[in-house]
């Protein structure tokens, strides 16, 4: 960085700067005298003007070039999403006013010239000019609104990716991440309210043989078909989850064991009648599944609850598959 002598070059006029715009002639004259001793800093592209987590009690006014906030939370993000400071704008006013550390680095994205106003000088400007004080308040209001808008956008983007991370890419139903996050809450709610909660564990029958015969693409189609049947059969309050591989889990809030068994039987019959592909000359054109049902008991945790449904599923397999078991 290089500091030039006084703010006196003819191409720079105080009225063109955001902090000094729309002020009276008398105020402008006073402002010009106050900032006359201020230096102009030359900053090369890529250099830091303010380092993150440091206290810099100076205000920087961009005379030409561009500065940019470098958020350390978004080092891999697009630079176009970062806040920029263009000619006439200033940066660093919050650190001057509250004497707190700057949370992010301010980097020059082009060779830039900056008017450097020390904290004491800024306070002189505020005390001596109502116009400067008004402009500073407007600037702070804009900063707050901009920061709030960025926070809302980040929250929405973060929530979008959080939801996306809980959806199974193949089937479009919930995945294990969702199950680990949400299922314990459903169990806790059922225990605290005394409401019934039942689950169905489903596993496609002879799926390895199906894959070996028809290939993994058709195997994926079989899993997708099963998920679609579940989504079309369940209530809006129910949840379908891909538990892993060809295993799927259905969660039925406010459902007793008998009603859960009825839902599982309906799923079993609908799946048996569904063709994964239409060429009936090929073996195994249909898919079936075995189903195990369980209802939450007093004091039962998530692991023993799923284990109960899993044990019922294996009973269905041992009894011949394509059926439902308690």
- Summarize pLDDT for 240-262 with one digit per residue, the tens: 999 999 999 999 999 999 999 99
In whole angstroms, give the CA distance from residue 266 to residue 233: 8
The answer to whether residues 254 and 196 touch, using CB atoms and an 8 Å cutoff, is yes
The answer to whether residues 221 and 215 touch, using CB atoms and an 8 Å cutoff, is no
Question: How far lies 95's CA from each of 52, 54, 87, 233, 300, in Å?
Answer: 11, 9, 20, 59, 54
Residue 73 CA from chain centroid, whole number: 13
Q: What is the pTM of this model?
A: 0.58
Fold of 2-161: Jelly Rolls (2.60.120)
* CATH number, span 176-325: 3.30.70.270
Identify the top-confidence range among 28-37, 182-191, 265-274. Answer: 182-191
246 is catalytic: yes
More confident residue, 94 or 204: 204
Long-range (24+ apart) CB contacts under 8 A made by 26-32 are 27/128, 27/129, 27/130, 27/131, 27/132, 30/128, 30/129, 31/125, 31/128, 31/129, 31/132
Alpha helices in the chain, H assignment, sequence order: 25-35, 93-98, 119-128, 130-164, 176-193, 207-214, 216-233, 257-272, 302-318
In whole angstroms, give the CA distance from residue 4 to residue 39: 6
pLDDT at 325: 97
Sheet containing 48-50: order of strands: 48-50, 105-108, 67-70, 84-85
In whole angstroms, give the CA distance from residue 295 to residue 254: 10
- Summarize pLDDT for 132-156 with one digit per residue, the tens: 999 988 888 887 887 788 778 877 8
Which residue ranges make up each domain of the chain? 2-161, 176-325
The answer to whether residues 40 and 116 touch, using CB atoms and an 8 Å cutoff, is yes
Nearest partner of 90 among 50, 131, 37, judged by Cα = 50
* Residue 109 dihedral angles phi and psi, to the nearest 5°: -95, -10
- Summarize pLDDT for 176-231 with one digit per residue, the tens: 999 999 999 999 999 999 999 999 999 999 999 888 888 888 889 899 999 999 98
- Given a cut of 70, whether residue 6 has pLDDT beyond it is no
- Given a cut of 70, whether residue 78 has pLDDT beyond it is no
In whole angstroms, give the CA distance from residue 120 to residue 99: 12
> Please, what's the b/e burial string for 157-189 (b: 16 or more CB within 10 A of its CB; e: otherwise)?
eeeeeeeeebebeebebbbeebbeeebeebbee
Residue of 2, 246, 258, 272 marked active site:
246
Q: What is the dihedral of CA 227, 229, 231, 235, to 10 degrees?
A: -140
């Amino acid at each position: 960085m290089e500091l030039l002598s006084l703010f006196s070059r003819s191409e720079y006029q105080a009225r063109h700067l955001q902090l000094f715009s729309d002020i009276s002639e008398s105020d402008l004259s006073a402002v010009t005298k106050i900032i006359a001793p201020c230096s102009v800093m030359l900053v090369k592209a890529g250099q830091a003007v303010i380092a993150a987590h440091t206290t810099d009690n100076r205000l920087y006014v961009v005379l030409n070039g561009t500065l940019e906030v470098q958020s350390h939370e978004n080092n891999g993000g697009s630079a176009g999403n970062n806040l920029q400071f263009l000619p006439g704008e200033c940066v660093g006013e919050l650190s001057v006013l509250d004497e707190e550390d700057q949370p992010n680095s301010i980097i020059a994205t082009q060779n830039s010239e900056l008017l450097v106003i020390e904290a004491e000088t800024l306070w002189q400007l505020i005390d001596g000019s109502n116009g400067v004080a008004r402009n500073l308040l407007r600037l702070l209001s804009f900063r707050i609104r901009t920061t709030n808008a960025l926070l809302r956008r980040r929250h929405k983007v973060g929530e979008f990716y959080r939801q996306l991370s809980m959806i199974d890419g193949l089937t479009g139903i919930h995945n294990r991440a969702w199950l680990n996050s949400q299922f314990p809450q459903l169990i806790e709610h059922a225990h605290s309210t005394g409401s019934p909660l039942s689950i169905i564990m489903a596993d496609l029958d002879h799926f390895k043989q199906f894959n070996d015969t028809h290939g993994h693409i058709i195997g994926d189609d079989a899993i997708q078909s099963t998920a679609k049947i579940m989504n079309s059969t369940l209530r809006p309050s129910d949840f379908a989850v891909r538990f892993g591989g060809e295993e799927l889990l259905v969660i039925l809030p406010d459902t007793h064991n008998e009603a859960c068994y009825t839902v599982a039987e309906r799923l079993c019959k609908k799946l048996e009648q569904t063709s994964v592909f239409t060429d009936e000359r090929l073996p195994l054109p249909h898919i079936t599944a075995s189903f195990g049902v369980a209802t939450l008991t007093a004091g039962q945790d998530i692991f023993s609850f799923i284990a109960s449904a899993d044990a019922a599923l294996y009973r269905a397999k041992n009894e011949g598959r394509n059926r439902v078991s308690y």
